[in-house]
Amino acid sequence: MAVARAYLDHASTSPLRDAAYDAMRPYLESSFGDPGRLHAEGRATRVALETAREQVASFFGARPREVVFTSSGTEAVNTAVSGALARGGSGGHVVTTAVEHSCVRDAVDRGTTEVTVVGVDRFGRFDAGAVVDAVRADTTLVSVQLANHEVGTVQPVAEVCSALRERTPLVHVDACAAAGHIAVDFGALGADLCSVTAHKFGGPLGAGALLVRRGLRVPPLLVGGAQERTRRGGIENVPAWVGFGAACAVVDLATEAAAARMLVDLAAAVVDRVTGVERFGDGSLPNVLCLGVGGVEAEPILLALDQHGVAVHSGSACSSETLEPSPVLEAMGVDAERSLRISVGWSSATDDVERFVGVFPGIVERLRELRTV
């Protein structure tokens, strides 16, 4: 009989919640009408889609009309960046930070050659004043993250939004890592654009959204149809977006965040138990723990943990898709080659973390011994 595995990579993607699966099933099995059509089948899916829009809007502190559904957080980010740059005209200056997700970095790099990248401290935190000070008369876009995806540091985004509220550049907030783990209130935040995704807190893959401030119009990334009130072309992915709404409707943010913090604190006990292990980030995002392990590359630790039934992630060169050191950790000035990220979520249990804590010290010890042979 197979032993249950300990899945501790929720920050990459989280298992689908039962409520989301149940909500999606009718639109995978029988209710398949195009929501843009006037027949009964189309009207039924339109109602389901708009209900999901209301659920997502409520969860993220937005108005339903401010929600533009997308296929992912990555698409939402690309829509925000390309739309802001197109709206501002070619050659616009962009301000961003050194710890943004690759989709932000790549979208900005492709869209403009005028970029100011603001650095961070050893915790991966940027200074809000430094971001604001980097804004110029020709700045079109400021793009900052709400929480870091690798080390879990929550950023002073509200200060940036407040300082730039009366100024020209649009402010985009990447809240994909934060969504479902800390409160994301689009209205209170004061951003112009905000990207969120479903799959990191128990919603389905293939579902994201760009929140667009009321009254703001940015050119769509995908053209060729009038869907999403002409803000995104292409037939709507009703099952995924219904699942997104259902996941938002069942999240108990306070309870789940408290449970996640307890589990992360339990996992962090290895810092005191194993010499040469340190924690990166400030621990403000409740579900993420990033560890630096001195003297051993991340890949053999990750593979050994996997053999013991524990799934974690590393941003290091040896195990990432890009085969490069983590830009986030490099920007922080720490060892970018030897990091492990442990992340919990709605389905995580104490047993999962205890298995990690139980096997991690021995794995590190054995690997260090092999290096000295």
DSSP string for residues in 196-215: EESTTTT--TT-EEEEE-TT
Q: Whose structure tokens read 């139980």?
A: 358
Distances in Å between the Cα of 259 and the Cα atoms of 47, 93, 291, 318 are 35, 42, 20, 31
Burial 121-148 (b: 16+ CB within 10 A, else e): eebbbbbbeebbebbeeebbbbbbbbbb
Phi and psi, residue 2, nearest 5°: -70, 140
Sheet holding 277-280: strands in order across?
Answer: 277-280, 288-293, 339-343
Which of 103, 176, 194, 318 is flagged as catalytic?
318
Structure token digits, residue 100: 């943004």
Q: What is the CB neighbour count within 10 angstroms for residue 300?
A: 17
Calpha distance 277→365 (Å, rounded): 12
Calpha distance 26→91 (Å, rounded): 47
Q: Whose structure tokens read 């999606």?
A: 24
- Quote helix, strand, coil % in the chain, to nearest 5: 40, 15, 40
Q: Determine which helix (DSSP H) or strand (DSSP E) holds 195, and give its type and residue range.
A: strand 193-197
At residue 170, the 3 state secondary structure works out as strand
Structure token digits, residue 319: 């195990």
Q: Residues 326, 329, 333, 339: is their CA dihedral positive or negative?
A: negative
Beta bridge partners of 193: 172, 212
User: Is 318 an active-site residue?
Assistant: yes
Burial 178-199 (b: 16+ CB within 10 A, else e): bbbbbebebeebbbbbbbbbbb
Which residues are annotated as catalytic? 318
